[in-house]
Amino acid sequence: MQAVEKLNVYSSQTSTMKAIVHHEYGDPEVLKMVEVGMPVPRDDEVLIRVITAGVSIGDHHIITGKPYLIRLSPFGGFPRPKHRVPGTAVAGYVAALGAKVTGLHVGDEVFGQALNGAFAEFLVMPANLVAHKPKTLSFEDAAAVPWGTVALQGLRDAGRVQAGERVLVNGASGAVGTWAVQLAKSLGAHVTAVCSTRNVKLMQSLGADEVIDYTKSDFAKGGARFDVLMDMVGNRSVSDCKQVLNAGGRYVPCSGGGGDWLGPIVRIIRSQLTFLFGGKRIKMFIQKLNAADLVVMRELIDSGAIRPVIDRIWSLSEVSLALKHVGTGHSQGLNIIRISN
């Protein structure tokens, strides 16, 4: 009860909070830490006291506004950012509840994925995007979990991975790729991970059956041998990806690629045309935010089947540095912002 009482006092007597904001698109230096008004939850929302937040390449795209098409999406805004406080993946405590929220209580340890607002001391988000935090994880680790639902939906729903199938994960060492390797194993697949030399041991520790070091070998050579290819980087031609798939194989793209203007649009069109014939399929998907998949991830984590991989932990004042680091494309797992103690 002591933790709950402290949260109630803090949320009721504080009218402002620290937050990272951006009023224009640009390099991460456009971000500023300022005092803003405390958000208030509506009937179907929860107020979360944010302890940690995840930093991903998706956050980098939103802040830089590149590819430019993202500015026309719900995450962006034109000509300036619609959402001043960025950040999506979050872990913390429930500080207040909307009148119609059930199943959660003030003081509960939770995690989730919002559309924006996670880089702040408090965050309001829909209650149906929040779940109780895995008991076996710290807040730092828990903030890395929501991005795992991208891999879950890509493998389970789009790729329809079955036990005994052979899965290739291209770009296996990143924020989503580390989850994809483990989730494919949990689905009973034989998993091959593609990564750089420094990540080979990490992939082995995550359960990959085979590891291809792309600095020494080319996964596109060797003919058709995979049933599903989950592509995190989009750094190979669509034809290369198609030729390594068995008959009936599925290509699941989960990457941007492309230039600053059209981004992945050209690659998507080329992929659709390439997979028109030959019995192999491209399976496009868009992540669907929901609490049910967070629960799936939580159960797998608490059972010991999967675990988060953390690259580095940063303070709230270091968000710009964290985003620069993520923007290089060489993170091992997810980067985390620790916002409060």
Q: pLDDT at residue 116 above 90?
A: yes
Give strand pairing partners of 45: 126
Structure confidence at residue 8 (pLDDT) = 43
Domains of the chain: 2-145+308-338 (3.90.180.10), 148-282 (3.40.50.720)
Query: Tokens 């937040």 map to which residue?
Result: 53
pLDDT band at 330 (very low <50, low <70, confident <90, very high): confident
Which residues of the chain form beta strands (DSSP E)? 16-21, 32-37, 45-55, 89-97, 109-113, 122-126, 130-132, 166-170, 190-195, 210-213, 226-231, 245-253, 281-282, 310-315, 334-338
Backbone phi, then psi, for 233, in 5-degree steps? -120, -25
Strands 226-231, 210-213: pairing is unpaired
SS3 246: strand
Cα(140)–Cα(27) distance, rounded to whole angstroms? Answer: 25
**pLDDT tens profile 83-106:** 999 999 999 999 999 999 999 999
Average pLDDT score, the chain = 92
- Terminal alpha carbon distance of the chain: 18
**pLDDT for 40-73, tens place per residue?**
999 999 999 999 999 999 899 999 999 888 898 8
What is the pLDDT, as a whole number, of residue 4?
37
- Report the percentage of the chain scoring pLDDT > 70: 93
pTM of the full structure: 0.92
Helix axes 57-64, 319-327, angle to 10 degrees: 110
Give the count of alpha carbons within 13 A of 71, CB side only: 15
The per-residue pLDDT for range 174-228, each reduced to its tens digit, is 999 999 999 999 999 999 999 999 999 999 999 999 999 999 999 999 999 999 9
Confidence class of residue 260 from pLDDT cuts 50, 70 and 90?
Answer: low
Structure tokens at 152: 């879950």
Whether the CB-CB separation of 152 and 179 falls below 8 Å is answered with yes
263 confidence band (pLDDT: 50, 70, 90):
low
Residue 9 scores a pLDDT above 50: no
**Per-residue pLDDT at 27 exceeds 60:** yes
